[in-house]
Amino acid sequence: AWNGLVSNLLATGGDDGVFTVWDLRNFQPSPASGADTPSPLARFTAHRNPITSLEWHPTDESMIAVSDEAGTYIYDLSIEEDEPNEETGAGVGAGGEGGEIPPQLLFVHCG
């Protein structure tokens, strides 16, 4: 799904339940990371079902609705990941490989 307000942002969703946001201004492999593929702006792995639909909010460039077979989810991509607490090591997950609930997830509708 193309962002209608920020033309360089593209969101993609896959059958593996991962949805990714790409900044097409930086859609090149990063020599510093040694990767052969471009790095996404954001990658969310909290979904367990195939992504069926993505839709950017018409007036808020950071809001996106994501649907899978189980429900619809509203994300606010302007929310940044919390840094881990140095004393306890605790922090808010960013939807990493463990499938934690990302802080950007604002609302879930299932049913």
Q: What tokens appear for 47 in the block?
A: 């979904």
pTM above 0.85, yes or no: no
Alpha helices of the chain — where are they, by DSSP H?
A: none
Which tens digits make up the pLDDT trace of 49-101? 999 999 999 999 999 999 999 999 999 999 987 666 555 444 433 444 455 88
The answer to whether the beta carbons of residues 46 and 100 sit under 8 Å apart is yes
Query: What's the mean pLDDT in 38-57?
Result: 94
